[in-house]
Amino acid sequence: MKRPLSFSLPVTVVVLAILYIYLSTIFVFIDRWFGLMSSPGIMNAVVFTALALMSVFNYAIAILTDPGRVPPSFMPDVEDSDNPVHEIKRKGGDLRFCQKCSHFKPPRAHHCRVCRRCVLRMDHHCIWISNCVGHANYKVFFVFVAYAVIACIYSLVLLVGSLTVDPQKDELQSGDSFRTIYVISGLLLVPLSAALGVLLGWHVYLILQNKTTIEYHEGVRAMWLAEKGGHVYKHPYDVGAYENLTTVLGPSIFCWVCPTSGHIGSGLRFRTAYDSAYDSMAGASVR
């Protein structure tokens, strides 16, 4: 489902930053280091352009894709034996009900104060895509961050490499405007590479645990309470590292780098560790 477009200052800043980095990389760093019309120059320009296009494409999809709406008719079935996990409120133990949206919340859904509605498998609200990161666009958001990290590091390498060229080869490029391009690019690329690298690492960790950012923070409290009561806490949606990866990114390693989402399901229920335990017990009883 697509979202209506509206102006967003953070998104505009991101688009301008991408455009500036792309133009600087192609027409300054690559041209100065290799020569844009040389074989190495063309090869690097093609590779970097491909990375930039994939970054922009995934970024646009992350912005335009609705993260997932709770159907108005949703009603949890507490008697469903195939769904052993039902999330409840911390206080009172009742099934989670959103007072603002006036409907029950499916597992892993949360209300976003910015979007003013509940979002399926909500991770967080991201101002840089002017959208929530949730069930329907989490993968494409992750793929965008991965491509953006690679592109930023690649551009930074080209920036540093182009500085090794003898400045006497092109006196015109050694002027103040040329120096300004390097300074601005460095001020953009260094913090972007670091911040996006940390963000990518964080979400790799979350995917391997099959957690959202919200669930991580909730899990810290749950773990403390479990240890206090002498129990061991286990995240209910953690079904093993590889299974977690395929659940979020897709069943084939070749589709992990593409913005495909046919594998994600409805977002109203998710496989749990209890399902795995039940399947094992059923298999053992059959044998």
Catalytically active residues, by annotation: 126
CA pair distance 243, 224, nearest whole angstrom: 26
Instruction: Quote the tokens at residue 176.
Output: 């103040």
DSSP 8-state symbol, 111:
E
How many of the other CB atoms lie within 10 Å of CB of 244? 20
**Helix or strand holding residue 189 (H, E):** helix 176-209
Count other Cβ atoms within 10 Å, centred on residue 215. Answer: 21
Q: Are 267 and 120 in contact (CB under 8 A)?
A: yes
Distances (CA, A) of 261 to 85, 124, 139, 162: 24, 19, 8, 39
| Spatial CA neighbour of 200 closest among 238, 152, 156 | 152
